[in-house]
């Protein structure tokens, strides 16, 4: 039972546990020999992870197939990572991004690092980038703050809950939000959202400089930012979609232009490093 | 990066030419709090397979919790991603549901079972599956001589559509929302019930006869099987929705007199079994079933394992029923 090298001889996926304070992060490194760039994938939140897992993995493989090394991981307390979800804070998840970025960049400091976030992951990646991490930033459907990401997750869950309920038994998203705001934790798709998580989410915002690409270009100068608002076609990476069907679709229409952008950022960044 | 931490170890298997990835939950050494070096040789293991395209952690990471609790009881647990799913290599296609329903993962799952049994020195394996995963588990049990039991959550024995027509979906949603809709929906159920009665005991046209044949083979052979059912859409307690064929009743008749099938209705769960109450109820049922059918001779339950098992007994929110629900519609439509 040996780790099989996959079809492309350059592709090797290495799964492991990365130690952080009080927990271990599950990571998968899509290792590439002599990469042109590195991309840290900061995925969607909690149950959204499960819905979008297959396209997310395929995106990592797509990049690795084009000589871009990728590191993807599970948030602390979610999926294969350890830790108690209900005790986690946005600061813990921000720290995960910083620690992994440092480790990833230390593998070869001369190779440009691009952060890529989706949903809540876009807020986390955006904040790390704003602190100076990475040479480029790619955001897919970034919410203005974490609360918007939580609401999107809640809406999807309520939609599923309502399938089993009729008439007066059906509760709306506002009913659940009211509960949270009145101080009761809420279990969403198996994850217990604490009242603190809900309250903190309003203040955990995307940096103002990432409001749009023009503002970002002025703020970050030579560190490019690309912001893509995903449409329904991209489900389940965005809201909607059926697990076991939409997550198996062909996403090359989404992957290709974004991959090309990453290659361009890497090329530009490498030239600047060489020039310097 | 580490490949193993306290209670988990990452594993790689050869899945008929594809690299399968998974997580191993070793049995804790009851005397030292450390995992046993080989995690419980000479005992039975429990293998979790994917539910359709969900990764091996499953909804709400429920499979992680169950695997941890099973290992605490003294049975090593394994969660793997089948080819093209989760972190495993391979490509899954949009007809995944049809492939699952035709038993396409049986061979690779049985190969994985054999490797795990050999590698960890196990006496055999119980295969665990939820929804579409239970279909794969059932097919795999026929293909795998090492399979000693099955844990099946919300198994369906019909051939569902991966995606319902949009109009029908919206009509169903309207029926759930409005009083008139509910009235019409009940009328529709009664009409279906009349048709069901006229059909007598005949199977519905979309029954998965291949899967039912597998069921008959393993159930009549006396393979221990734990069937757990969550309340279905418009189900009446443990009975199916009016007008729906009672598959559980049917498969219990197919199982014959020597069967070792246990059916439990988990009232507190939803179809995902990810909600905490449902998850704990499942954990409790699994613990009782494993200890009853596969008692451990050389392992005393760790204090923690015993405590969690007893703590869950009183709050399972479930009741035993030999005529448990047949959610023919399955919540596949909601996922």
- Segment A218-265, tens digit of pLDDT: 999 889 999 999 998 999 998 777 777 888 889 999 999 999 999 999
pLDDT value, residue B298:
61
> Is the omega angle on the peptide bond into residue B49 within 30 degrees of 0, that is, cis?
no
Residue written as token pair 């003294």: B74
Q: Residue A114's domain is classified under what CATH number?
A: 3.40.50.1820
Would you give the DSSP letter of residue B2?
A: B
Q: Under an 8 A CB cutoff, do A50 and B58 touch?
A: yes
Residue ranges of chain B with per-residue pLDDT less than 70: 29-42, 162-165, 298-335
pLDDT of residue B191: 80
Q: What is the pLDDT of residue A6?
A: 40
Whole-number pLDDT of residue A2: 33
Average pLDDT over residues A78-107: 97
Q: Is residue A217 a part of any domain in this protein?
A: yes
Q: What is the 3-state secondary structure (H, E, C) of B24-36?
A: EECCECCCCCCEC
From the list B267, B277, B55, the residue with the least C-alpha distance to A187 is: B277
Q: What is the pLDDT of residue A48?
A: 92
In the beta sheet, which residues pair with residue B150? B127, B225
B156 lies in some domain: yes
Contact residues on chain B for A244, CB-CB shorter than 8 A: 52-53, 96-97, 132, 162, 332, 335
Residue A49 in domain? yes
A143 CA to chain B: closest CA distance, Å? 23
Rounded CA separation A272/A266 (Å) = 10
For an interface test with B, the pick among A245, A246, A251 (most B C-beta atoms closer than 10 Å) comes out as A245
CATH number reported for the structural domain that contains residue B9 in this entry: 3.40.50.1820
A219 assigned to some structural domain: yes
Helix (H, G, I), strand (E, B) or coil at B267: coil
Is pLDDT larger for residue A166 or for residue B26?
B26
Cβ-in-10-Å burial (0-12, 13-18, 19+) of B209 comes to exposed
- Closest residue on chain B to A45 (Cα): B60
Written as six digits, the tokens of A218 are 């002025």
Q: What is the dihedral of CA B134, B139, B143, B147, to 10 degrees?
A: 30
- Token digits for B53? 């395209």
Backbone angles phi, psi at B128, to 5 degrees: -110, 130
Is it the case that residue A175 has pLDDT exceeding 90? Answer: yes
The 3-state DSSP class for residue B238 equals coil
d(CA A121, CA A117): 4
A53/B89 Cβ within 8 A = no
Please answer yes or no on whether A1 and B92 come within 8 Å at the CB atom.
no
Predicted local distance difference test score (pLDDT) of residue B130 = 97
Number of domains in chain B: 1
In terms of Cβ atoms closer than 10 Å to its own Cβ (0-12, 13-18, 19+), residue B184 is middle
Own/partner pairs for A85-91, CB < 8 Å, 24+ apart? A85/A46, A85/A191, A85/A192, A85/B61, A86/A185, A86/A191, A86/A192, A86/A193, A86/A194, A87/A194, A88/A197, A89/A196, A89/A197, A89/A200, A90/A124, A90/A146, A90/A197, A90/A200, A90/A201, A90/A204
Mean pLDDT of the region A189-198: 96
Residue A112 inside a domain? The answer is yes
Residue with tokens 């972190």: B87
- From chain A, the residues in CB contact with B12 under 8 A are 1-4
| Residues whose CB is less than 8 angstroms from the CB of residue A29 and which lie 6 or more positions away in sequence, other chains included | A13, A14, A15, A16, A69, A70, A71, B1
Which residues of B are less than 8 Å from A248 in CB distance? 53, 92-94, 96
The number of domains in chain A is 1
Structural domain including B325 reads 4-162+209-334
Structure tokens given for A126? 């955006």
State ipTM. Answer: 0.92
Q: What is the pLDDT of residue B161?
A: 72
Distance from CA of A219 to the nearest CA of B (A): 35
Residue with tokens 């409001």: A211
Q: pLDDT at position B182, please?
A: 76
In a domain, B195, yes or no: no
Distance CA B278, CA B289 (A): 16
Q: Which residues of A92-111 are buried (b: 16+ CB within 10 A; e: fewer)?
A: bbbbbbeebbeebbeeeeeb
Asked if pLDDT for residue A5 goes beyond 60, the answer is: no
Residue B184 lies in a domain: no
3-state SS, one letter per residue, for chain A = CCCCCCCCCCCEEEEEEEEECCEEEEEEEEECCCCCEEEEEECCCCHHHHHCHHHHHHHHHHHHHCCEEEEEECCCCCCCCCCCHHHCCHHHHHHHHHHHHHHHHHCCCCCCEEEEEECHHHHHHHHHHHCCCCCEEEEECCCCEHHHHHHHHHHHHHHHHHHCCCHHHCCCHHHHHHHHHCCCCEEECCEEECHHHHHHHHHCECCHHHCCHHHHHHHHCCCCEEEECCCHHHCCCCCCCCCCCHHHCCCHHHHHHHHHHHHHHHHHHHHHHHHC
Residue A220 lies in a domain: yes
Q: Which residues pair with B79 in a beta bridge?
A: B23, B48
Nearest to A54 among B92, B276, B332 (CB): B92
- Is residue A163's pLDDT more than 80? no
Q: Which residue of A has its CA nearest to B79?
A: A80
**Beta-carbon separation of B21 and A15 below 8 A:** yes
Measured CA to CA, the distance from residue B160 to residue B305 in angstroms comes to 38
Contacts of B163 in chain A (CB under 8 A): 242, 245
Residues of chain A with pLDDT > 90: what percent?
A: 78
Looking at the complex, report in whole angstroms how far the Cα of residue B199 sits from the nearest Cα belonging to chain A.
28
User: pLDDT per residue over B22-71, tens digit each?
Assistant: 999 999 765 444 444 444 566 899 999 999 999 999 999 999 999 999 99
Q: Do B234 and A15 touch (CB under 8 A)?
A: no
Name every chain A residue with its beta carbon within 8 A of the beta carbon of B56.
Answer: 80
SS3 B216: helix
CA angle centred on B201, ends B195 and B204, rounded to 5°: 60
What residue numbers bound the domain in which A69 lies?
Answer: 12-145+212-263
The token pair at B257 is 């007199």
Write the burial class of residue A217 (CB in 10 Å: 0-12 exposed, 13-18 middle, 19+ buried). Answer: middle
Q: How many CB pairs under 8 A join A and B?
A: 146
CB nearest B276 (choices: A50, A79, A187): A187
Of the two residues A12 and B297, the one the predictor is more confident about is: A12
Q: Which among A18, A47, A244 has CB closest to B52?
A: A244
Site from B4, B55, B85, B276 to mutate, A interface, most A CB atoms within 10 angstroms: B55
Helix orientation angle between B179-199 and B166-177, rounded to the nearest 10 degrees = 110
Of B118, B151, B304, the C-alpha closest to B229 is: B151
pLDDT of B326 reads 31
Task: Report yes or no on A206 lying in a domain.
Answer: no
Question: Between B2, B87, B332, which is nearest A57 by CB?
Answer: B87
- Residues near A167 by beta carbon (within 8 Å), at least 6 away in sequence: B176, B177, B178, B179, B182
Rg (CA), chain A: 19
Q: Are B105 and B137 in contact (CB under 8 A)?
A: no
Whether the Cβ atoms of residue B305 and residue B74 lie closer than 8 Å to each other: yes
Contact across the interface for B10 and A2, Cβ inside 8 Å: no
Interface test with B, best of A48, A244, A246 (most B CBs within 10 A): A244
B132: chain A residues, CB-CB within 8 Å: 244
Q: Which residues of B touch A187 (CB under 8 A)?
A: 275-276
CA B6 to mean position of chain CA atoms: 27
Q: Report chain A's mean pLDDT, rounded to a whole number.
A: 91
Question: B110 φ, ψ to 5°?
Answer: -70, -35
Residues of B in contact with A28 (CB under 8 A): 87
Distance, in Å, from the CA atom of B208 to the CA atom of A106, rounded to the nearest integer, reads 54
Option in A15, A78, A191 nearest B10 (CB): A15
In chain A, which residue's Cα lies nearest the Cα of B97? A244
Backbone angles phi, psi at B125, to 5 degrees: -140, 140
Domain annotation covers residue A186: no
B54·A160 Cβ contact <8 A: no
B86 and A249 within 8 Å at the Cβ level: the answer is: no
> What pLDDT is stored for residue B100 in this prediction?
96
Structure tokens at A253: 């229409």
Q: Please indicate whether residue A7 or residue B15 has the higher confidence score (pLDDT).
A: B15
DSSP E strand stretches across B156-314: 224-229, 260-266
Q: Which residue of A has its CA nearest to B186?
A: A166
Mean local confidence (pLDDT), A93-122:
96
| DSSP state for residue B164 in the 8-state scheme | -
């Amino acid at each position: 039972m040996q780790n099989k090298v996959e079809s492309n001889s350059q592709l090797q996926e290495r799964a492991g546990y990365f130690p952080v304070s009080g927990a271990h992060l599950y990571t998968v490194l899509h290792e590439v020999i002599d990469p042109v760039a590195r991309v840290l994938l900061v995925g969607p939140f909690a149950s959204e992870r499960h819905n979008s897992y297959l396209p997310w993995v395929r995106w990592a493989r797509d990049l690795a197939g084009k000589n871009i090394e990728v590191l993807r991981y599970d948030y602390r307390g979610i999926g294969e990572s350890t830790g108690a979800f209900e005790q986690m804070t946005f600061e813990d998840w921000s720290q995960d991004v910083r620690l992994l970025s440092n480790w990833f960049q230390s593998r070869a400091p001369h190779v440009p690092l691009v952060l890529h976030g989706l949903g809540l992951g876009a807020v986390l990646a955006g904040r790390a980038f704003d602190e100076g991490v990475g040479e480029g930033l790619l955001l897919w459907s970034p919410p203005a703050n974490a609360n918007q990401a939580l609401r999107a997750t809640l809406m999807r869950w309520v939609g599923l809950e309502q399938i089993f309920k009729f008439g007066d038994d059906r509760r709306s998203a506002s009913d659940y939000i009211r509960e949270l705001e009145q101080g009761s934790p809420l279990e969403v798709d198996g994850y217990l959202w604490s009242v603190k998580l809900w309250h903190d989410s309003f203040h955990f915002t995307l940096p103002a400089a990432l409001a749009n690409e023009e503002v970002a270009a002025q703020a970050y100068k030579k560190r490019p930012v690309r912001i893509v608002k995903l449409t329904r076609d991209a489900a389940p990476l965005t809201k909607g979609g059926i697990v076991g069907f939409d997550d198996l679709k062909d996403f090359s229409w989404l992957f290709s232009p974004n991959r090309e952008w990453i290659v361009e950022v890497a090329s530009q960044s490498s030239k600047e490093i060489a020039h310097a | 990066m580490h490949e193993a931490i306290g209670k988990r170890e990452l594993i790689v298997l050869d899945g008929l030419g594809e690299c399968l990835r998974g997580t191993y939950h070793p049995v804790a050494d009851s005397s030292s709090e450390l995992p046993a070096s080989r995690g419980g040789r000479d005992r039975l293991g429990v293998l979790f397979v994917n539910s359709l395209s969900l990764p091996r952690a499953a909804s709400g990471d429920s499979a992680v919790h169950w695997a941890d609790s099973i290992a605490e009881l003294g049975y090593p647990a394994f969660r793997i991603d089948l080819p093209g799913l989760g972190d495993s290599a391979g490509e899954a296609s949009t007809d995944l549901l049809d492939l699952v329903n035709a038993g396409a993962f049986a061979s690779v799952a049985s190969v994985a079972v054999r490797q795990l049994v050999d590698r960890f020195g196990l006496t055999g394996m119980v295969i665990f599956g939820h929804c579409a995963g239970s279909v794969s588990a059932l097919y795999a049990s026929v293909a795998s001589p090492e399979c000693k039991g099955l844990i099946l959550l919300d198994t369906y024995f019909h051939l569902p559509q991966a995606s319902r027509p949009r109009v029908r979906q919206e009509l169903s949603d309207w029926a759930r929302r409005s009083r008139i809709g509910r009235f019409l929906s009940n009328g529709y159920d009664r009409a279906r019930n009349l048709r069901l009665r006229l059909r007598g005991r005949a199977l519905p046209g979309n029954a998965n006869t291949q899967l039912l044949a597998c069921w008959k083979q393993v159930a009549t052979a006396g393979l221990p099987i734990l069937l757990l059912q969550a309340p279905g859409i418009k189900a009446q307690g443990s009975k199916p929705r009016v007008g729906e064929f009672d598959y559980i009743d049917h498969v219990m008749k197919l199982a014959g007199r020597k069967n070792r099938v246990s059916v439990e209705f988990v009232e507190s769960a939803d179809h995902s079994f990810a909600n905490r109450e449902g998850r704990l109820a499942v954990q409790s049922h699994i613990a009782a079933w494993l200890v009853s059918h596969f008692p451990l001779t050389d392992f005393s339950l760790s204090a923690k394992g015993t405590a969690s098992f007893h703590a869950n007994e009183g709050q399972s929110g479930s009741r035993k029923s030999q005529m448990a629900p047949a959610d023919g519609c399955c919540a596949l439509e909601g996922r």
